[in-house]
Structure 1
Amino acid sequence: MGISVKSLFSMVSPASAFCGSERAGLPACKFYSGRRKIHRCHCVFATMDVFSSDDIVLESLLGTYGYMSISSYDPPKLDGGIESMTTSLNAKRFGGQEVDAGNVETRLYSGRVRRGPNTGTRILLKAYPVRNAGGHEADMMAANELSSHAILQDSSMGKTCENIIVLLGGFETRTGEQWLVFRNDGIKSGADYAMAAGVATQKGISVGVWDFWDRFEKAEVLQRRHAFIRKLLAGAFTGLSFMHARGQLHQSLGPASVILNTMEERNISMVLPRLRDLAFAVDVSNETLFRGADPKFGALSDNLWRRAAAAGARTIFERKAFGIADDIFSGGLLLAYIVFASLSVPGSVDAPSLQRLLESTFRLDLTATREYCMMDDRWEEAVKFLDLDNKAGWELLQVSEAMLNPDYRQRPIADAVLCHRFMTG
């Protein structure tokens, strides 16, 4: 049987029940409308709303999103030399990762709340398909995303993080679709910014508001772009650091999983990146690992643990370390993509091609990768940016704080990435 948002909210008690009051007189196992506190694993308290479809006004469809599942991982060998992309890859392989197209496609809408405690709030709605379209996996993903946000938004564990999108609640439609309701803190993603920045780089102007003099002040325009990229990445890694501190892995980190409240490069102080897309988040808190994976959501993390075993992670703590390092590796690919896509000729680079270049063609040898990239004039500004401060960007990717190190044990934690001189500028 699938796990639904409604069934997860069945773990919700009236807020008053957690304040020692019995006046509500409602059993904890029922599903009631209104504001509730999620209580999971006897330790999580996060206030969310149980909406109904009548509480929401839909405004526009923002897009449809699919998922890829990483089913196996073969760590790149350091002594393998340069391998041709045309002979080393097939349609289902990215570098050392074997990937499969998922069965679940979600829809994202903008809207607003028209009644209840959050009346007037601008929202984003994520709709998971009904069971006969997405299978039980869709139900598990929706419930897992809600559960992960409940842990991350648990204020009883200390200060929460502004670099993670806020989940307001959810509801189930009469047809069985699971809908999650997020506060709308921006609809543009890191991928959207990188695309816009690539065009702006080619034109010699700023992203967002620009003026005639931008074309004659190339250095200043690029400095603003560099600062924006660092701000975007810093926000993403701050959110990732918080997730890891709360015992949560992201497992879907990429340019589309970072949202921005603005893309105005002339107003960098207002930029606040936030992480989203936690459908495949994995709980690696010590208590969860010691008691075994939660059977309701364990299927979503099976591929992660298979890849951990293939990398030599056997014990509980090695598995946790692998999971954290796996997020960091994705963070390294995110950094490389944002830099190259934002500072290169539009259309000259995309995420899959860049990953193949790094993992398969050059086997994560960033020295050889840099030499190759230097020969392509379309990537000149990206290479120059990574070369700043004695090649600080390349160093972060492979040398002292090696995010893309083939050995997961040698990768830094998110806090170390944030402190690196490339990130601080």
Structure 2
Amino acid sequence: MLLAVPDCFTSFRHNKPTTTTFLFQRGRRAPHSVNPTRTRRLGLCKATLITNSDSFEVGRLLGSYGFMNITSYSGFQSGADTEYPPGDLGQLRVQDVGEGNVKISLYEGRVSQGPLRGTSVLFKVYPGQRAGGMEADMMAANELNAHTFLQSSSKGICQNLLILVGGFETKTGEQWLAFRNNGKYSAADYAKVMSERISKNRALGEQMSWNQFEQELTIKRRRYFVLKLLQGAIRGLAFMHDQDRLHQSLGPSSVVLNTIVERDAAYLVPRLRDLAFSVDIGYSSLDEGRGTLSEGLWRRASAAGAFTPMEKRAFGIADDIYEAGLLFAYLAFVPFCEAGIVDSLSLQRLLESTFKLDVEATREYCLADDRLLDAVKFLDLGDGAGWELLQAMLNPDFRKRPIAEAVLNHRFMTSAIP
């Protein structure tokens, strides 16, 4: 039996750490069946959601998400790895990965009735408890609560966050979340396509008709596109932090793009997704206890010497900034290098393990490799402004990392691309 969302603002801070907040009130279940005939409103959500399955049409299966538990030098704790059929979307590889138990599916679809009729949506389907356990329900509930909270902000809707349209639960316990489909590509897909294009062009060698002017124009467009991508992603993160929410899964695969055509950079709108591990850092929440999905974050906070609510909040924000720094490094290198030269795993190891987050030493190493030259030149803009920002975001001392607004106002992010 499908029921409407009970209370969109219920979150883990109102429950004991082991309590799951379900997306939709549960009834008796029949395997692989849905009863769309009854709906019941148990509460009112400011962010109006469509909760009747009859209001949606489901299209083709796109692929699946395998959520990972990730450990690294600092912060890169929870993320998502996307598995798609060959030729489709790319993957994010990360260091020291332990695969979780939750696999979710992605489907195309659209709204079939009501004011939003015809709106294209992307369904994110969490398995029921039988397949995914309590963790799947907690992740789905957390993602629902995070989106509805953020979409109900007095500051309005943030254009750099994916918009939740609605959702429903089947009798088999699957949680279906419907998001406005603002693009099928991620930042990881963009980087992959660009690196493969570089490889193809260099393989053609003298057959290429490019002149020097065309090559310079291509590099200029790429720099502008990457900079605008980063600006959008950080704006989304700044909005979340301003609303006392952490992302905690930020990476190339968690940034959705409406275009990957560099000539269309003026119309690019990056949007953050994957809020299953989002954490409420309001002081009341920090005082009341820990949620199951945030236990790893707070263990690392304690290890770093953050014990008071104010210190823990600062650590959580800095943890997101560290993840954003790794995203920055990924986008500064991968789209500017041939395929296979560098990936997220090798780049992260280079920064964390080889050079212990010494960005200047990393630059000297990269400068000696001609294959990385375009990436080095990009970060060299503004007399090394890119390296300066990267060092600040990856500072080993979480207290010295900038907040998202400071990142947006950094001279590298505000400079015009020459």
TM-score interval (norm. to shorter):
0.7 to 0.9
Cα separation, 1, equivalents of 2:120 and 2:311: 42
Partner deviation per Cα, 1:346-396 (whole Å, 9 max, x = no partner): 111111121111111111011111111112222111111111111111100
Q: CA deviation at 1:188?
A: 0.4
- Choose which of 80, 97, 117 in structure 2 pairs with 1:119: 117
Q: 1:413 to 1:225 in 2, by over 3 A?
A: same
Hey, what's the Cα distance between the residues in 2 that align with 1:185 and 1:37? 28
Kindly report which structure 2 residues correspond to 1:172-187, keeping only aligned pairs within 5 A, or say none.
Answer: 172-187=169-184
Corresponding residue of 1:10: 6
Give the match's secondary structure for 2:157: coil
Bigger drift between 65-74 and 262-271 goes to: 65-74
Q: 1:199 aligns with which of 168, 175, 196?
A: 196
User: Match of 1:313, as an amino acid?
Assistant: A
Q: Unaligned regions of 5+ residues in structure 1, if any?
A: 14-27, 40-44, 76-91, 206-210
CA displacement at 1:160 relative to structure 2:
2.2
3-state SS in 2 of match to 1:181: strand
Q: Which residue of 1 aligns with 2:374?
A: 381
Matches of 2:342 and 2:73, distance apart in 1: 24
After superposition, residues 231-380 of structure 1 pair within 5 angstroms as 231-293=228-290, 298-380=291-373
For the 8 Å contact 1:195–1:341, the answer to whether it is kept is: yes
Partner of 1:25: none
Residue of structure 2 equivalent to 1:49? 50
2:156 paired residue number: 159
RMSD between aligned alpha carbons? 2.8
Sort the Cα spacing of 1:93 and 1:414 in 2 relative to 1 into closer, same or farther, 3 A: closer
One-letter amino acid of the counterpart of residue 288, structure 1: S
One-letter amino acid of the counterpart of residue 120, structure 1: G
Cα distance in 2 between the residues matched to 1:306 and 1:392: 33
Question: Structure 2 unaligned runs (5+)?
Answer: 10-23, 28-37, 76-92, 203-207
The answer to whether the aligner puts 1:424 opposite 2:410 as a matched pair is: no
Are 1:56 and 1:112, in contact at CA under 8 Å, matched by a contact in 2? yes
User: Aligned residue for 2:221?
Assistant: 224
CA change 1:196–1:12 in 2 (3 A) is closer
Q: CA 1:72 to 1:419, structure 2 compared with 1: closer, same or farther past 3 Å?
A: closer
Partner Cα separation in structure 2 for residue 30 and residue 63 of structure 1 = 27
Counterpart among 127, 130, 137 of residue 128 in structure 2 = 130
CA distance in 1, matches of 2:379, 2:157: 32
Moved more, 250-259 or 127-136: 127-136
Deviates more, 1:325-334 or 1:63-72: 63-72
Matched residue count: 369
Deviations 1:170-220 (A, max 9, x none): 111121111100001111000000011112334559xxxxx9767751111
Listed one character per residue, the Cα deviations across residues 131-161 of structure 1 (whole Å, up to 9, x for unaligned) are 1221100000000000000111004x22221
CA distance in 2, matches of 1:7, 1:406: 47
Distance change >3 Å, CA 375–CA 108, structure 1 → 2: same
1:409 aligns with 2:407: no
User: 1:118 and 1:30 mapped to 2: Cα distance?
Assistant: 26
Q: 1:364 to 1:212 in 2, by over 3 A?
A: same
Cα distance between partner residues in 2 of 1:33 and 1:8:
6
1:55: Cα distance to partner?
A: 3.0
Equivalent residue letter for 1:50: T
In structure 2, the CA distance between the partners of 1:310 and 1:93, relative to structure 1 (3 Å rule), is farther
Q: 1:247 to 1:188 in 2, by over 3 A?
A: same
Partner of 2:58: 58
> TM-score when scaled to structure 1?
0.81
Contact 1:72 1:99 in 2 (8 A): no
Deviation at 1:12, TM superposition (A): 6.0
Query: What's the offset of the Cα at 1:99?
Result: 4.5
Deviations 1:106-143 (A, max 9, x none): 11111112123322110000011121221100000000
- Corresponding residue of 1:69: 69
Aligned to 2:147: 149
SS at match of 1:262: coil
Comparing 403-412 with 364-373, greater Cα deviation is found at: 364-373
Cα distance in 1 for residues equivalent to 2:224 and 2:303: 38
Identity %: 54
On the 8 A contact 1:37/1:46 being kept in 2, the answer is: no
Contact 2:297–2:316 at 8 Å: present in 1 too? yes
Per mean C-alpha deviation after superposition, the further-off stretch among 346-355 and 63-72 is 63-72
CA distance in 2, matches of 1:101, 1:310: 24
Q: What is the rounded CA distance, in whole Å, between the counterparts of 2:128 and 2:26 in structure 1?
A: 22
* Gap change, CA 1:212 and 1:56, over 3 Å in 2: farther
